[in-house]
C-alpha cells in the first residue's frame, strides 16, 4: 500500500489527492506512510451501500474465480478481460444496485 501511495503522489504531484477507502486492516496499518499530498477519507464501518464495487468484486469472484481451476495465469487473465469487456451497464446496475449512477 505504501508503494501505491508513493507512486500516486509522484504521478499526481501537482494535485491534492483525496483517496476514499474502506476500513480494511491494511488501509489503517500503523506502518502506512501517507504522503502530504494525499488525504485519506474512510468509509464508515459496515457501510457496503457506500462502496458498490464490493458487490462487483463478489460477483466477479463467484462467476469467474470460485471453484474453478485455470491451467495458467494467462488463461485467468484472458477470462477476466473477456468478462470485463463484455460487461454491460444493465449488469453493473443489477450487480452493484446502483442504477442512480447511470441516470
Q: Give residue 21's domain range.
A: 2-46
Q: How far apart are CA 99 and CA 35, in angstroms?
A: 35
40 and 63 belong to one structural domain: no
Instruction: Find the mean pLDDT for residues 53-62.
Output: 88
DSSP code, position 41: E
Instruction: Find the mean pLDDT for residues 62-72.
Output: 90
pTM, two decimals, is 0.56
- Structural domains of the chain, count: 2
Instruction: Find the mean pLDDT for residues 55-80.
Output: 91
**Residue recorded with cell 502506512:** 32
Q: How far apart are CA 24 and CA 54, in angstroms?
A: 12
93 and 68 belong to one structural domain: yes
Q: How far apart are CA 91 and CA 99, in angstroms?
A: 10
Amino acid at each position: 500500500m505504501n508503494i501505491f501511495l508513493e507512486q500516486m503522489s509522484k504521478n499526481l504531484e501537482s494535485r491534492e489527492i483525496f483517496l476514499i477507502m474502506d476500513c480494511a486492516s491494511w488501509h489503517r496499518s500503523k506502518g502506512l506512510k501517507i504522503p502530504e499530498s494525499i488525504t485519506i477519507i474512510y468509509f464508515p464501518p459496515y457501510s457496503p451501500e457506500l462502496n458498490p464495487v464490493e458487490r462487483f468484486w463478489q460477483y466477479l469472484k463467484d462467476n469467474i474465480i470460485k471453484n474453478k481451476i485455470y491451467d495458467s495465469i494467462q488463461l485467468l487473465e484472458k477470462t477476466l478481460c473477456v468478462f470485463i469487456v463484455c460487461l454491460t451497464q444493465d449488469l453493473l446496475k443489477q450487480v452493484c444496485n446502483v442504477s442512480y449512477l447511470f441516470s
